[in-house]
Amino acid sequence: MDHHHVRVAVAFIATGALGFIWLAFWLALYRRPEEDPHLSAGELSLIRSDPADSTTTIRWRDLFPHRQTWPSP
């Protein structure tokens, strides 16, 4: 392997390692809104007032005709 390939491999490994470090911090620090002691009742009410996420499923083949599905030139 030449130096270019080694540097590219190191960049990918370092980026992946940072992602796992971030994941460890997130898992250790994340709390559901109901469990967060710093969240006020008003803030929790605001979070709960958001509409539910859509559960509509879309088939991949239905996306292909849309321009946004394809990369721009």
Span 12-35, pLDDT tens digits:
999 999 999 999 999 999 999 999
CA nearest 15: which of 26, 23, 25? 23
Torsion angle of alpha carbons 45, 46, 48, 54, nearest 10°? 170
Average per-residue pLDDT for the chain: 90
Alpha-carbon distance 50 to 54, whole Å?
A: 12
- pLDDT value of position 29: 92
- Tell me the whole-structure pTM to 2 decimals: 0.52
Does position 1 have pLDDT exceeding 70, yes or no? no
- pLDDT value of position 50: 85
Model confidence at 58, pLDDT cuts 50, 70, 90, reads confident
